[in-house]
Amino acid sequence: MPSRLALFSLLVPDYDEALAFFGRIGFECREDTDLGNGKRWVRIAPRGGETEILLARAVNERQTSAIGEQGGGRVWLFLQTEDFDGDYHLMQAAGVTFEGPPRDEPYGRVAVWVDPWGNRWDLIQFARPDRSGTTR
C-alpha cells in the first residue's frame, strides 16, 4: 500500500518564472530535466521538505485557465514552518502578498498568502506536532 504523497503538480505559465519566485521564498530546485519540445520535469520543495511540487507549464487553454484556480478559490496549499515569525518576515521581504495579518487558531498560527498566479496558501506553524486541533 502506498505510504506517502511524493509530489503533486502545480500549473504555472512559465518554468523559470516559477523557479525564481519559489527560490526567493526558500524553496530548492531538486530537478530540472529537459524532456524536449519545451517540456521539462521540474521538482521543487521547501529546503529539507519531503513532499515535492512538480511545476507543470500549462500547454493549452484548459490548463491555462486553471492556473491559480486549482483550489477553486480556497486555500489548498499549506506551507508548514517551525519559525512562523522569521518565515513570515522573510516572505514579506521577498514580496509575497499576505491577505491579512497572522492569526492564532486552535490548530496553530497561520497567515494566508497568494502566489503570483493566484493560488491561496497558508503559512502555518501547527500548535501540536501531530497537527491536532488541541490548543497550545
> How much is the pLDDT for 136?
45
Q: How confident is the model at residue 134 (pLDDT cuts 50, 70, 90)?
A: low
At 74-91, the pLDDT tens digits run 999 999 999 999 999 999
Tell me the C-alpha distance between 96 and 40, whole Å: 26
Residue with cell 522573510: 90
- The count of other CB atoms within 10 Å of the CB of residue 9 is 10
Q: Is 35 exposed, middle or buried (0-12, 13-18, 19+ CB in 10 A)?
A: exposed
At 87-113, the pLDDT tens digits run 999 999 999 999 999 999 999 999 999
- Residue 134 Cα distances to 7, 76, 85, 109, 130, angstroms: 28, 22, 21, 13, 10
Q: 131, 86, 136: which is closest to 111 by C-alpha?
A: 86
Q: 35, 75, 73: which is closest to 55 by C-alpha?
A: 35
Domains of the chain, with CATH numbers?
1-67 (3.10.180.10), 75-136 (3.10.180.10)
> How much is the pLDDT for 10?
98
